[in-house]
Amino acid sequence: MTTAFDPVDLAGIPLANRLVMAPMTRNRATADGVPTPSMVRYYTQRASAGLIITEATQTTPVGRGYPLTPGLHTPEQVAGWRAVTDSVHAAGGTIFAQLWHGGRIGHPVLLPDGLVPVGPSPVAAAGQGFTHEGLKDFVTPRELTGQEIADTIAGFATAARNALDAGFDGVEIHGANGYLIHQFLAPNSNLRTDEWGGSDEARARFAIEVVRAVADAIGAHRTGLRLSPGNPFNDISEPAPEATYTALVEAVAPLGLAYLHTCDVVDQDLLARLRKRFGGTFVLNPATEGRPTGPEELPLVEEGRADLLAYGALFIANPDLPRRLAAGGPFNTPDRASFYGGDDSGYLDYPALTD
């Protein structure tokens, strides 16, 4: 019987176990998006994960959605990430960079040179976003032109090449949680009637082209994709997502990607059907209402419902989470007040188990 603690081969990359540190924004980079020494220590503390997926990392300046998030589009950012990956590898870990573009989720005060957020259509998200000036209403994004869409796709590929230059073992494309790729997939944020919208298949095209561009740039075996069909986060509405996501998964499945990573938020049956169509390694971030994903989810691997399991908040609070899960606990309690920004408190000071 396969367990979450068994090693696994991820498209040629050996992983010590099947426990994944999920991508989680922590807002600890510099104002210029450069990873800091604290980030080096944070990721290295968690190197016992089978796979670390970094926090969302913007592929371009206009893609920044929150303050103090890292990027992969300048030499300084690449050098900062190299310090992270070298340290994680020295500790025996494996690490992928999550490539991200916030799209309409962001605000002009976060962006340089008078830039404004962009999106598939000029439709503002309801709600407010976090900035260094406090919460601000989301603005109406500027609709991307056809050439800008091509440039954005190329930006993902460039960031993927930068990720390998920075020492990452691979990348995960962030197509979930209401950010740019998800905005193209959703009918309430993509009102286009050209080749990038207007039908289920056309709304899937942007995601497909991003995946193809990244796979061409660094190899499909180093490329993962994260999706969250039906997730309403960031004012997304997908009342009937199956046709769009089926078109997407069927288009990328033949490429031989490293994995498909899904958030179990709405329709488990749909996720099962998408997994079958994908046919490759399946990473599941399970839904656990009212509590962090914990030891209760370990049987999902034994039952064959996932190949790898992604843990979020519990990995923040327990840098040695695989050891704690194997022992059945105890577990540190996550301090949610320190999740987003701040100093090293609630970031680097969670204790590991002692021998």
The residues assigned a catalytic role are 179
- The SS3 call for residue 277 is helix
**By C-alpha distance, which of 34, 103, 98 is closest to 64?**
103
Phi, psi of 11 (to 5 degrees): 50, 45
Q: How many CB atoms lie within 10 A of CB 157?
A: 19
Report yes or no: 220 and 257 within 8 Å, Cβ to Cβ.
yes
**By C-alpha distance, which of 42, 53, 57, 56 is closest to 91?**
42
Instruction: Return the exposure string of 292-304: e unless at least 16 CB atoms fall within 10 Å of the residue's CB, then b.
Output: bbbeebbebbeee
Q: CB-based burial of residue 329 (10 Å sphere; 0-12 exposed, 13-18 middle, 19+ buried)?
A: exposed
CA dist 352 and 324 (Å) reads 9
Distances (CA, A) of 177 to 185, 266, 335: 11, 12, 22
Cβ neighbours of residue 270 under 8 Å, at least 6 residues apart?
229, 230, 241, 242, 245
